[in-house]
Copies of this chain bind each other. A is one copy, B any other.
Amino acid sequence: MARRRARTRGQLVTAGRSLVAERGVSGLRVQEITERAGVALGSFYNHFGSKDDLVATIAAETMAELVASAVHGPDDPDTADPGTAREDPAVTAARVVRRVVRLPLVDPGFARLLVHLNHADTPVNGSMAPYARRLLVHGIAAGRFRSPDPESTVTHVVGGAVAMMRRTLAGERGEDDAVTGLDPEALHVAVMLQTLGLDLDDALGVAAGAQRED
């Protein structure tokens, strides 16, 4: 019974995710989701309190997959936790944030969903903040990051990433830097690393490394 319940929930998430990818969040209807999932309309509310609840779940699960693949590579998502990675926390942070701010280029539908979530003042930044917080605390403990207040730093870094995504989605992506060869997303990563306390040259070097990994 628990397995059937989990399967239904999974079908709803998958159906919701494909509908969101096709045409965004604003026109999404619960009935469409249950039809595509092949489940009864009423059963939706056994799993989710509202449509927004499902959308938040989609965002959180997709972000979790993205962070997992950025932290340890796509092969061992189960162990993905930024707080357990052995590499330089700045390198991890650069890779994660680079993937996030590249979303408008590789998956504009999902990027729009994240930006929309941020709009709606639903658990603000709820889908990104937990990962950012773990990475930050790990990097501070490792002596690599410095922050006057982790909560403020997380707010700033996530808010900056969302603003960068919005700028790209609005068609206002900048150009590669002529001197360093860094693309706009790598330049954003370098700024983010400054926020975490790295000096500019260090930040540029780590951001360039993340760009080379693509």
List residues of chain A with CB under 8 Å of any chain B CB: 119, 121, 124-125, 146-149, 151-153, 155-164, 166-167, 169-170, 172, 174, 177, 180, 182, 184, 187-188, 190-192, 194-197, 199-200, 203-204, 207
Q: What secondary structure prevails in chain A residues at the interface with B?
A: helix
* Contact flag A148-B197 (CB < 8 Å), given A121-B170, A124-B166, A172-B124: no
Contact for A152 among B158, B162, B164, CB less than 8 A: B164
- Whether the pair B167, A155 counts as a contact (CB closer than 8 A) is yes
Instruction: List chain B residues, Cβ under 8 A from A119.
Output: 119
Complex contacts, A149 vs chain B, CB 8 Å: 174, 177, 182, 184, 187, 190-191
Task: Tell whether A146 pairs with B200 under 8 Å between CB atoms, given A152-B184, A155-B167, A167-B155.
Answer: yes
Whether the Cβ atoms of B164 and A162 lie closer than 8 Å is no
| A191 in contact with B195 given A121-B166, A152-B164 (CB within 8 Å) | yes
Contact residue among B152, B162, B187 (Cβ-Cβ distance under 8 Å from A159): B162
Top 5 A-B pairs, shortest CB-CB distance? A159-B163, A156-B160, A149-B187, A148-B190, A146-B200
Closest residue of chain B to A122 (Cβ to Cβ) is B170
Contact yes or no, B195 A195, CB < 8 A: yes
A148 touches B192 (CB 8 A): no
Interface centre among A148, A170, A203 (most CB of B within 10 A): A148
Cα A187 to Cα B146 in complex, Å, equals 13
Do the beta carbons of A159 and B164 come within 8 Å of each other?
Answer: yes
